Amino acid sequence: MTDEIDPKDFEDTARAVVEACAKASDGRARARLLAEAGLFGVIAPEEAGGLGLSLRHAVPVVAAAGSGLLAYPLIEAMVLARALAGVDAAEAGRILSGESLATIAWSGVAEDGLVGHAPLAEEADRILIFRADGGAVLAAASNVVRVEPSSDRWDVDLPSAPVRTDGPVTGIELGAEAVRALRADADLLRAAHILGSASHCLSLAIGHAQGREQFGRPLSSYQVLRHKMSRDALVTETIRNGIARALSAHREDADLVREAAWLNAARSGPAVAENAIQIFGGMGFTWEVPLHRHLRQMRAQGSYGAAADLLERFGQALIASSSNEWYREENHAN
């Protein structure tokens, strides 16, 4: 398979599967639906049973998951299947087939004894846990690695749980380089997830503003609300273009461009849900209207990708290493 396949071809499939997943009883049932459609394997190598496509093709799939509030750690399954393919093809295969429900504990390291931010850990068979040396280990959810009863219901659709590690954690190991690549893939997919979620919130807001009348006029006839939605269109378009830019091949500045795309999505996406809640008025603040679920999942992705920490590091690196040959310090007359 090659990149000649149009990424858009995946969009309809992904939407339909995500819709079906909403009716499934649990994570395992969703894993089967997603696996049958081949969605776990979009970016996994063909040798391991994946489609061997680029991240570009995974973007619409993950965006559909964000848009449809998919209750499954899809990003985690995708990046794990790709990272494990060269290390343990059988393990990658079990994730691809939906047999193994795998997730990642995004915060903390094994040495701390407690790691967190592991979406759907309560149902998981395998949990990737990072280590202080930059590597990671794929642990079986067993006595050694205990998933604590989740107290964190922040993300209503995809709750995460803390994971306790008693003693040394064993399992398939990933080196620091593989972990870096996995995190890089995850950052871009998280941006796509937020894009899907934010775009859906904007379309809900537009639908409401066109249909709801106040003072005898549709809300959309008020310029202040039209402008709010125009700004949100700018936000979603900016996230989309940022992702597209990060995906364009052979960039010298790939790390910077990817980090910027992720930071932008994490920092600007949630505001689209916040604005949609405002446009919905009192209804927007109710549990039934799904805007809060989008807001929650976008904020959760922001935490998994440690956007706030990254922004700080990004700023420090900018000040320490900004290099434009026109402003070399020695050129300045002091």
Partner 1 sequence: MTIAAAKGILPSAERPGAYAAHARRWLQENLTDRLRTDRAHEPRATLDELKRFEAALYRAGLAGITWPTAYGGHGLTLREHLEANREIGLAPAPNAVNSIGKELVGPIVLAVGDERQKAEFLPAILGMDTIWCQGFSEPGAGSDLAGLRTRVERCADGWRVNGQKIWTSGASKSQRCLLLARTGVPEDRHRGLVLFAVPMDRPGIDVREIRSMDGDRSFCEVFFSDVIVDEADMLGAPDEGWLAATRVLSIERATNRMYRAWRFESELDHLIAACRTDARSLAILQGYARELAQIRVEIEMLKGHVETLVESLLAGEEIGPRGSFPKLYWSESHQRFAQIAFEVVSRFPPTAGQALRDVKARMEAIYLHSRAETIYAGTTEIQLDIIGKRILNLSRAS
Please report how close the Cβ of residue 316 comes to partner 1 at its closest, in angstroms: 5
Exposure string for 47-65, b = 16+ CB within 10 A, e = fewer? ebbbbbbbbbbbbbbbbbb
The residue (of 154 and 314) whose beta carbon lies closer to partner 1 is 314
Question: Binding of partner 1 at residue 25 (CB under 8 A)?
Answer: no
- Complete edge-to-edge strand list for the sheet that includes strand 114-119: 114-119, 160-165, 145-147
Site for partner 1 in 120-149 (CB under 8 A): none
Question: How far is it, in rounded angstroms, from Cα 90 to Cα 14?
Answer: 25
Question: Binding of partner 1 at residue 221 (CB under 8 A)?
Answer: yes
The residue (of 46 and 237) whose beta carbon lies closer to partner 1 is 237
- H or E element: which one contains 140? strand 136-140
Q: Are strands 145-147 and 213-214 parallel, antiparallel or unpaired?
A: unpaired
Give the range of 38-46, 100-108, 166-174, 261-269 binding partner 1 by CB under 8 A.
Answer: 261-269
DSSP states of 254-314 as a string? Answer: HHHHHHHHHHHHHHHHHHHHHHHHHHHGGGGGSSSSTHHHHHHHHHHHHHHTTHHHHHHHH
Name the residue type at position 180: R
Residue 272 Cα to chain centre, angstroms: 17
Place of tokens 């040959």: 325
Which residues lie closer than 8 Å to 285 by C-beta, 6 or more apart?
277, 292
Please report how close the Cβ of residue 99 comes to partner 1 at its closest, in angstroms: 39
Give the range of 35-43, 51-59, 81-89, 243-251 binding partner 1 by CB under 8 A.
Answer: 243-251
3-state secondary structure of 170: coil
Question: Binding of partner 1 at residue 227 (CB under 8 A)?
Answer: yes
Site for partner 1 in 273-332 (CB under 8 A): 311-312, 314-316, 318-319, 322-324, 326-329, 332
Please report how close the Cβ of residue 173 comes to partner 1 at its closest, in angstroms: 33
Tokens in use for 127?
């949990």
Give the range of 98-106, 142-150, 174-182, 214-222 binding partner 1 by CB under 8 A.
Answer: 214-222
Please report how close the Cβ of residue 321 comes to partner 1 at its closest, in angstroms: 9
Residue 58 Cα to chain centre, angstroms: 11
Q: How many residues does the chain have?
A: 334
The residue (of 70 and 225) whose beta carbon lies closer to partner 1 is 225
The residue (of 34 and 188) whose beta carbon lies closer to partner 1 is 188
Please report how close the Cβ of residue 280 comes to partner 1 at its closest, in angstroms: 16
Binding residues for partner 1 (CB under 8 A): 206, 209-210, 216-218, 220-221, 223, 226-227, 229-231, 233-234, 237-238, 241-242, 244-245, 248, 256-257, 260-261, 263-264, 267, 311-312, 314-316, 318-319, 322-324, 326-329, 332-334
